[in-house]
Chain A
Amino acid sequence: AQSVTQLGSHVSVSEGALVLLRCNYSSSVPPYLFWYVQYPNQGLQLLLKYTSAATLVKGINGFEAEFKKSETSFHLTKPSAHMSDAAEYFCAVNMNSGYSTLTFGKGTMLLVSP
């Protein structure tokens, strides 16, 4: 079975500080990994995805994530937080070689203070 663990249900940072959201996965096959963002009362929006090419993936809004096989991790980072980054972030894994089925983590709420 596939699973995703997101460490920390809430992360608080100050505006301008580094953002680090953690994601670990368990997988018996090479995974495809995704980060989605969800703003209040909206659907999920794709930030970035890893599909077995470059291990450092750059996404929208200045976010990036690095796939580390040895650590089974895919942590999301942003050098400098903006107030507009406040939202819930979900890590997801696809390990089905045939289909696009995703398993999501429980999410991490990012709080940004002035």
Chain B
Amino acid sequence: EAGVAQSPRYKIIEKRQSVAFWCNPISGHATLYWYQQILGQGPKLLIQFQNNGVVDDSQLPKDRFSAERLKGVDSTLKIQPAKLEDSAVYLCASSLEGTRGNEQFFGPGTRLTVL
């Protein structure tokens, strides 16, 4: 079974530029998550989708971050404009369902460096 795919794996941009990340979850997984992992910290949930609807985006900085999951399959996360503090690894994860206790499967992440 193929795992969660993410691209690109690495991205370097200047501050105030925009950037987009792509995620393809495991086939059949209804729930998709985007996390931000800053160096030295644990992952922090940015947004959680159930199919193509948003379940939780309480920690998403909506003035600069946006995410969509069209057709309930793959997803994109965008940052516009980027700030220095956005430098982090962005992890995508998926689970079969979004109910409590469901195992989340993680992709390898996209490492963003903002100069």
> Which residues of chain A have a CB within 8 Å of any CB of chain B?
4, 9, 32, 36, 41-46, 49, 51, 90, 92, 94, 96-107
Contacts and interface: CB of A to CB of B under 8 A. Distances in A.
A69 to B, nearest CB: 17
A105 B43 CA distance: 8
B99 A90 contact: no
B107 A101 contact: no
- Binding site secondary structure of chain B: loop
- Binding site secondary structure of chain A: loop
A46 B104 contact: yes
Given A99-B98, A107-B42, 8 more contacts: A36-B106, A42-B109, A44-B104, A96-B100, A102-B104, A105-B42, A106-B40, A107-B40
B67 to A, nearest CB: 16
Interface of B: 4, 31, 40-45, 48, 55-56, 91, 93, 95, 97-109
A100 B42 contact: no
B100 A99 contact: yes
Contact of A100 (B44, B95, B109): B95
